[in-house]
Structure 1
Amino acid sequence: MPQHSIILDSPTKRIKLVPPSSSDDAASAACRVHPTTRRFLQFLPEHMSTDEARIRREGRAEDKRIVDFNVHYTQNDGNIIFGGFCGFFNIDENHNSCEGGIIVAPELHGTGVATEAIYVLLRYIFENRNIHRTTFETGADNLPMQRWLETVAGARLESQRKDAWRALDGNYSDVKGYAILETEWRGHIKAQLENRLARFI
C-alpha cells in the first residue's frame, strides 16, 4: 500500500500534518531516541539510524490500520522544521474506533504544538473519517501527559492497566487509558481546543 497523501493544516497555519517521507527520516529517528522522548516511553529504542527510520516508515505505510503524520512547524521567520509525529492506529472498522498518539520534538515542548496538532488530528478523525471513538494511552508515571489529556484535550480516564508496557531493560510499567467520543468532540472538546488555539492566531 503506498503512503497516503493527506495534508492537514491547522487554523493558525503554524502546523501542518503531512505524510511521513524520506526527508524527515533523520529527524524522526533523532526524536524517537531523544532522552526527553524516552523518559516516559522506555520501550522506544536507544539508538535508531536513518535507514531504520525509513524501514519503520515504509512498513507502517503498508498497514491499512495505521495513518501516520509528521508534524511540520512554521517558525516566526518562516522556516519550516520537523515538529514530531502523530496519527491514529488500531483502526477498527467493525466498532468504528481507533487509538491516537503524538510525540512532539523536545525542542518544541511548551509551544502549544501538541495542542494544535491534536486539534487537527481529532478534527480529521471525527469530521472526515467519521470515527465514533478514539483512545489515548500514557504511562501512569507521566503526570504531565495525564494533565494535558484531561485538562487540554478533554479526554476521560477510562482504564488503568498493570504492567502493560515492557521497557528495553525488561521492566514493566503501568498505563492509563483515555477516550474521546465523537459526541464529546462536537459537544465541547472542539470549542475548548479552538479557544486555546485562538491565542496563536
Structure 2
Amino acid sequence: MLQPTFPLETERLTLRPFDDDDLGSLHAYQSLPEVARYLYWEPRNLEESRTFLKQKMAATGIEREGDWLVLAVVPRETGTLIGEVNLQWSSREHRQGEIGYIINPAYHGQGFATEAAEAVLRLGFEGLGLHRVVGRLDGRNAASARVLERLGMRHEAHLVENELVKGEWTDEVVYAMLAQEWKARSAIKPGRRGRRNRHD
C-alpha cells in the first residue's frame, strides 16, 4: 500500500493530485494529435478530458494490485499544470510496477519528464517496496525512450508489430529497472534525488 503525503517536491516540480481547476490545462495537451500519436486514445474533446480528470482525481494512492497513482506535474516557477506522471502496482506477488508520463509538448526538452518520473520510481522502490519497474512505449517514440534511458532503465525488449493500435501494427519497447539497480544509481547520484518527502 502507498499513500504519499502531498505535495511531493523535486528540484523544480510540485507533484500533487489532480483537481477540478486542472481541466483547461489537462485538455490543452490531451487534445493535441502529437500527444495522442503514440498512445491508445485519440485526441480528446473537453467533455472527454473532464471524464478522465475525474478518474485522475481519484487515483491518489495505491491500495491493491492494479491500482494507478496519477500525479499532476507542476513547475513551481509557474504553478501551471504541464502534464502527468503515473505509477502502477502491476503485481503484488512478483512486486512489479510500471511508470508512465505525459508532458505538454510546449514544455518538452527541459527535463521535466525525467525529473517527475524519477520521483515516482523512488515511490515505487522505496515506498511500495517493488522489485522491478518497467516503462513501456511505442517503438517509434524516441523521445520517451530517451527519458527512460536518462533514468538509468535498461532496454530489455523490442517486440515487433505486437499490437494493432489505431488500425496500424506497432512495435512495443520495454525498459526496466530492478530495486538493486535503483539503489546503486541513487548511491552514486545523490544530487538527483531532489527534496525528499517523508514517505519517500
TM-score by length of 1: 0.80
The RMSD of aligned alpha carbons is 2.6
Note the alpha carbon deviations across 1:126-156, whole angstroms, 9 max, x for none.
1122212110011111223223322x11111
Unaligned residue ranges in structure 2 (runs of 5+): 195-200
Counterpart residue number, 1:132: 131
Change (3 A) 1:53 1:95: same
1:71 and 2:68 correspond: no
Give the SS at the match of 1:80.
coil
Return the alpha-carbon distance in structure 1 between the equivalents of residues 37 and 190 of structure 2: 26
Q: How does 1:38-187 map to 2 (within 5 A)?
A: 38-41=36-39, 43-49=40-46, 51-59=47-55, 61=58, 64=64, 65-75=67-77, 79-150=78-149, 152-168=150-166, 170-187=167-184
How much has 1:184 moved relative to structure 2?
0.5
How much has 1:93 moved relative to structure 2?
1.3
How much has 1:7 moved relative to structure 2?
2.5
Is the 8 Å Cα contact of residues 119 and 190 (structure 1) preserved in structure 2? no
Q: Aligned partner of 2:16: which letter?
A: V
Return the alpha-carbon distance in structure 1 between the equivalents of residues 53 and 43 of structure 2: 18
Note the alpha carbon deviations across 1:46-86, whole angstroms, 9 max, x for none.
2321x3223223345378511111101122xxx31112001
Give the SS at the match of 1:85.
strand
Is the 8 Å Cα contact of residues 113 and 147 (structure 2) preserved in structure 1? no
Unaligned residue ranges in structure 1 (runs of 5+): none
Return the alpha-carbon distance in structure 2 between the equivalents of residues 140 and 52 of structure 1: 27
Return the alpha-carbon distance in structure 1 between the equivalents of residues 35 and 175 of structure 2: 20
Q: Aligned partner of 1:116: which letter?
A: E
| % identity of equivalent residues | 26
